[in-house]
Amino acid sequence: MLLPPDHRNLKITDKISLARDLFGIAGTTLMNDKHIRGLLAEVIEKARTSRQVMQELRINELCRQCDEEEGGSCCGAGIENRYDAVLLLLNLLAGVNLPASRFDEKSCYFLGPEGCVLKIRHTLCVNFLCDKIEENLSLEELVRLQEVIGEEIDLTFVLYEAVRKFLRSLTGNGND
C-alpha cells in the first residue's frame, strides 16, 4: 500500500517523508509518462504566470507588508496541514527541495525567507485573497487574477488526479 488510509492525517514531516518515498518508488516512471510530464510542465507554467500577475498587481508587497508589519496570518503555522503526500510528490517532481525544518515557527512549514518554497500549491493558498488585497485591486485586476489562478487550480487538479490514479494502479486497490 503506497498511501496509507490515514496519510492525510500525518504530521507534515511524515507527509514529506512519504512523498520522498513515493518519489523514490515512482518518480522516474511518472516523469517518463508523457501525459503526466506534459501536465506537470503546464502546471508549472500556470503557477509561474499566477505569481507573475500577483507581483504585477503588487499583491506580493501587500502580503510582505502585512506579514512583517501587521503580523499577518494567511501563511501561518498549520496551513501546511492542508497538504498531502501526493501534492508534495508533485512538488518533488517539479524539482522542489522540500524543507527539512520550518523557517519560522509562526509560519507555514513551506514559507521561506523569500515566500512559499512550493511551486505547486494547495487551492486555498492559490485562491485566498484577504479583504485588504481585494480593496487594493480594481475589478479588472481582480478578474485578471481570478482567471490566471483559476487555470492554475484546474490544471493542478487534473495533474493531482492523474498521479493519484497512477499510484493506485501500482497497488491495485482503490485507496487514496
Give the single-character DSSP code of 82. G
* Cell of residue 55, nine digits: 507581483
* Cell of residue 77, nine digits: 503555522
Residue with cell 501536465: 39
Q: What is the pTM of this model?
A: 0.91
In the structure, what pLDDT confidence band is assigned to residue 1 with cuts at 50, 70 and 90? low
Q: Tell me how far CA of residue 63 lies from CA of 58, 109, 162, in angstroms.
A: 9, 17, 33
Which region among 18-22, 39-43, 65-69, 162-166 has the lowest average model confidence (pLDDT)?
65-69
Q: How far apart are CA 92 and CA 48, in angstroms?
A: 16
* Mean predicted confidence (pLDDT) in 65-81: 81
Which region among 37-41, 53-57, 70-74 has the lowest average model confidence (pLDDT)?
70-74
Residue 174 has pLDDT above 70, yes or no: no
Amino acid at 113: P
Crossing angle of helices 12-32 and 139-171, in 10° steps, is 80
Q: Which of 29, 175, 7 is nearest to 86 (CA)?
A: 7
* Mean predicted confidence (pLDDT) in 154-176: 85
pLDDT (0 to 100) of residue 171: 76
